[in-house]
A and B are shown apart, each in its own frame.
Chain A
Amino acid sequence: MKEMICINCPLGCMLTVDDSDLSNIKVSGNTCPRGVTYAVNEITSPKRMVTGSVKVTGGNQAMLCVKTCEAIPKGLIFDCLEVMNGVTVQAPVAIGDVVISDVCGCGVDIIATKNIPKV
């Protein structure tokens, strides 16, 4: 039995997870079905969204904020940040533009989360 807080949304439901049988994980305490998915994933393959920033030139800002377009394996967070540290993009940039594709080979793109016009 494990207790965990669902982080899918700000509600933060307190979940009780019975993981004695990994092929049949039982979850209680969730408000919505996403709680079950979260608990199962958290036991089998935890993932996280990563948000951060990369350098940008040619715009009116020093930094461009970015995110992984979906959650990546938790173990890859710092590798992903490392890749972001080495990237500089050129303005203009629009929200959703792919800044780094297939980061760390995990099949997830890193996309811009801010519009930065060229100046």
Chain B
Amino acid sequence: MKDIIIIGGGVIGCAIARELSRYKADILLLEKGNDVAVGTSKANSGIVHGGHDAKPHSKKAYYNVKGNAMFDELSKELDFPFRRNGSMVLCFEEDLVCGLQELYDRGITNGVPGMYILRGNEAIRELEPHISEKACAALVIPTGGIVSPYEMTVAYAENAAVNGVKFRFLSQVESVKRTDNGFEVACADGFVEEAKVVINCAGVYSDVISNMVCGTNYHIIPRKGDYVLMDKTCGYLADHTLFQQPTKMGKGVLVTPTCHGNILVGPTATDVLDKDDVNTTAEELNDAFTKACLTTPTLNRRNIITQFSGLRAHLDSDDFVIGESNVPNFFHLVGIESPGLTCAPAIGVEIAEQVAAKLGLAHKLHFEAKRKGIPHFATMSNTEREKLIEQNPLFGKIVCRCEVVTEGEIVSAIRRPVGAKDLDGVKRRTRAGMGRCQAGFCTARVMEILSRELGLPMEEITKGGASSNIVVGRTK
């Protein structure tokens, strides 16, 4: 019997887990994937939204502005990449400048600080020299930021684990039944556990879980977004996150730097039927890229290093469903789509408070609030590097050439609490394989390290858990 079971190891589930780990409680997080941050949390824009876009008085607006303000401190406390680079919404037609004013007004209502409107191409290009000459006005949102969404999720998870939260992976929840003491949660692999409180953070599957317990009729439409990632050599093309003003033609795509210096372009928006359909299509990628060139005309296809696609959990009602459901002690977070990543810190704190109040949980005497990330060799000074190699020579062994990732970092990623168990897990934590050769050089070496550290034969090393094995056997 657990006090709390959290379903879903995305950024929301992990944020709640971490905030709840401040209290004396027995907490278990169930994740159907092989790692945290393997659904929506790994494949999104990585934007910390200012909050100008959300409908006033919606939950999205409330948590967005509140969450946004928490990032500076949180990213330091949990040591994950975050930069307040500022966002801009670009207008390309004089006639539509009034639309920017509407966005500005909405932002004011939502409580977004510091916004202003820039007029004229020259003024815009002073801030962003590579923007199209057609941009005639821009709404600047200085509080906008960028974050590495999977590293943030991992940071939350690690810190939660250090403070006692248990994680169970490859645990797809099949049923949640009400019992006299609370709930009985059963997984596809036969695992069954009871808990007083269940928190449903199942992302695109959150409707299924809630409907199971609450008899509700939520309907999540997985909204697929395709992205294009550009080489770091074009990182100079944008410093702010550059949105296009939504028009009758559509929402437009964004061009943004990432925390690691790449340029990210996207997303498209296609409603799909399959909740696992992360199939990129040539048409959508073309579409995203073509639209992005409206913002930044000098983007060059030759510098594309990869494409990916993620699903947003879009709810018909268009706002988050957050909090305790009609079934006592069953909390749910349904339809957490953009700006969900920005909202996560605020949602984490509020849900934790609600659950703690409900169960009458007391604070722990010793809560470890700080988490130190994996040393990041690539961005260190030579003196720091020297010191690090002296302490541990494995930091002198470069495994991923493109991103300059050392064996020391990879070993650390594997050995940490909620450590990496597969190639993608190593990649999200260390960036090995994230660079321009896309793991061509380091795949075999990372596999060997995983095999050694986990004590698994090479045949059992996977790309991302389940049956994503990389080699099928020995040649002889």
Q: Which A residues lie at the B interface, using CB under 8 A? A: 53-55, 63, 84-85
Contacts and interface: CB of A to CB of B under 8 A. Distances in A.
Interface string B463-476: 00000000000011
Contacts of A63: 475
Nearest to A88: B476
A22 to B, nearest CB: 40
Interface string B440-476: 0000000000000000000000000000000000011
A85 B475 CA distance: 8
7 contacts: A53-B475, A53-B476, A54-B476, A55-B476, A63-B475, A84-B476, A85-B476
A83 to B, nearest CB: 11
A99 to B, nearest CB: 13
A53 B475 CA distance: 9
A54 B476 CA distance: 8
| Size bin of chain B's contact surface | under 10
A84 B476 CA distance: 9
A77 B46 CA distance: 54
Contacts of B475: 53, 63
A105 B374 CA distance: 58
Contacts of A54: 476
A15 B39 CA distance: 57
Contacts of A53: 475-476
B17 to A, nearest CB: 42
7 nearest CB pairs, A to B:
A85-B476, A55-B476, A53-B475, A54-B476, A63-B475, A53-B476, A84-B476
B243 to A, nearest CB: 52
B402 to A, nearest CB: 26
A10 to B, nearest CB: 25
A85 B476 CA distance: 6
A101 to B, nearest CB: 19
A15 to B, nearest CB: 35
A63 B476 CA distance: 10
A104 to B, nearest CB: 17
A85 to B, nearest CB: 5
A119 B125 CA distance: 63
Contacts of B476: 53-55, 84-85
A85 B473 CA distance: 14
A84 B475 CA distance: 11
A80 to B, nearest CB: 14
A53 B476 CA distance: 9
A55 B476 CA distance: 7
A14 to B, nearest CB: 34
A61 B476 CA distance: 14
Contacts of A85: 476
Nearest to B476: A85
Contacts of A55: 476
A115 to B, nearest CB: 21
A17 B475 CA distance: 39
B131 to A, nearest CB: 50
A24 B460 CA distance: 58
B475 to A, nearest CB: 7
Nearest to A85: B476
A61 to B, nearest CB: 13
Nearest to A87: B476
Nearest to A62: B474
A64 to B, nearest CB: 11
A102 to B, nearest CB: 21
B471 to A, nearest CB: 13
A93 to B, nearest CB: 16
Nearest to A63: B475
A32 to B, nearest CB: 36
A53 B474 CA distance: 12
Interface string B265-296: 00000000000000000000000000000000
A11 B305 CA distance: 35
